A and B are shown apart, each in its own frame.
Chain A
């Protein structure tokens, strides 16, 4: 599967990339929402999973999620939020907006790998 990792932190993008690649997936990276949507505009048929931060400069992760789910070309893509926003109200808001999975920071490598595997097997409605 091809995965798009969206996070303004290079630390998190590297951790995600390594986990995804260890699981045999290919990874694109984007440092903000605009770059993520530009990547998806080109590769909507290739990307099967977006791993998305919430708090980023420019568009928030929630805004990016809503843009993905409102575009017929990208709404089929599974989205997993990976964020330090651990408040349940944020989880509910993301799920209501179409996110299929949610992992809060801090996380350990094993849990990240499990969540990526879980997300990779999910089908969008």
Chain B
């Protein structure tokens, strides 16, 4: 069953942003006016209360909601400046603070904490916890940047990092862990994805457009996976992406470290994401 989330007192634009982020999860969002908030709060699993600049009126509204509906968690949404006044309300009339500009990760975290409603990541049965973030990042990136869906069709280990596609984007990784991640597409699929990213036709896109698009795709996937792995033993930094074209080629890899080849299918075309990551010894 969907969690019900109330947006209270949000300006139009902030409401649209919050709604879009919340609706990525199993959540029903409803705009609620200040006047009706206290009476209706019992219908919701979570209330997000927009705190524009603090002030006595905001404090009174918050107090009234808490007095009349003590069981609905209230999270104050405010700016980095507003948080100093809002902080006084946490523990008294509200449970928590969410800072603007709203970030997907923060919103997910609060949803999970107060409602348990977060989208489930695709389960992947492998004994390498750093592979899953690359799977979900690939699916999300293709969906958001190119409005295309894809599914993981396979996973295998290889001793050699050979990209089978025509276009490959590769990013070096360094930090607690080092190695590389690479995506490799057929000419047809790379063209299709870049056309969708740029809202252009095949006749309009150039070779340079496709090469840049493949590099940026890899960059976004690596960035999203990086955020998932921060504060883990697999944390890494990104280098600038490099793009190769023209057919199968092999990426130099750290000696003795196998490569996970994650196989995907999008619109009937196959593509691979190669992940080679080694934890550095301190």
When chains A and B are docked, how far (Å) is the Cα of A103 from the Cα of B219?
Answer: 15
Find out whether the CB atom of A114 lies under 8 angstroms from the CB atom of B238: no
Please classify the interface of chain A as helix (H, G, I), strand (E, B), loop, or mixed, using the class held by over half of its residues.
mixed
Find out whether the CB atom of B238 lies under 8 angstroms from the CB atom of A55: yes
Contacts of A111 in B (CB 8 A): 17, 20
B144 beta carbon closer than 8 Å to chain A? yes
The chain A residue with its CB closest to the CB of B140 is: A106
When chains A and B are docked, how far (Å) is the Cα of A83 from the Cα of B101?
Answer: 14
Find out whether the CB atom of A117 lies under 8 angstroms from the CB atom of B13: yes
Contact of A11 among B198, B226, B230 (CB under 8 A): B198
Contacts of A89 in B (CB 8 A): 230
Within 8 A of A (CB), among B179-236: 194, 197-199, 208-209, 212-213, 215-216, 219-220, 222-224, 226-227, 230
Find out whether the CB atom of A101 lies under 8 angstroms from the CB atom of B101: yes
Write the nearest CB–CB distance from A85 to chain B, whole angstroms: 6
A91 beta carbon closer than 8 Å to chain B? yes
Chain B: interface residue total (CB-CB under 8 A): 37
B104 beta carbon closer than 8 Å to chain A? yes
When chains A and B are docked, how far (Å) is the Cα of A83 from the Cα of B103?
Answer: 12
Find out whether the CB atom of A84 lies under 8 angstroms from the CB atom of B17: no
Contacts of B147 in A (CB 8 A): 108
Find out whether the CB atom of A118 lies under 8 angstroms from the CB atom of B14: yes
When chains A and B are docked, how far (Å) is the Cα of A84 from the Cα of B222?
Answer: 8
Write the nearest CB–CB distance from A35 to chain B, whole angstroms: 16
Contacts of A115 in B (CB 8 A): 17, 101
Write the nearest CB–CB distance from A114 to chain B, whole angstroms: 5
Contacts of A110 in B (CB 8 A): 20
The chain B residue with its CB closest to the CB of A12 is: B216
Write the nearest CB–CB distance from B81 to chain A, whole angstroms: 9
A18 beta carbon closer than 8 Å to chain B? yes
Find out whether the CB atom of A87 lies under 8 angstroms from the CB atom of B145: no
The chain B residue with its CB closest to the CB of A99 is: B101
Q: Could you tell me which A residues sit within 8 Å of B by CB distance?
A: 8-12, 14-15, 18, 55-57, 83-89, 91, 95, 100-108, 110-111, 114-115, 117-118, 121
6 A-B pairs closest in CB distance: A84-B223, A86-B227, A106-B144, A106-B141, A105-B220, A9-B216
Q: Could you tell me which B residues sit within 8 Å of A by CB distance?
A: 13-14, 16-17, 20, 80, 101, 103-106, 140-141, 143-145, 147, 194, 197-199, 208-209, 212-213, 215-216, 219-220, 222-224, 226-227, 230, 238, 240
21 CB contacts below 8 A, A to B, read A9-B215, A10-B209, A11-B198, A12-B216, A18-B199, A55-B219, A57-B240, A84-B226, A85-B223, A85-B226, A87-B226, A88-B106, A100-B101, A104-B224, A104-B227, A105-B224, A106-B140, A106-B220, A114-B13, A114-B20, A118-B17
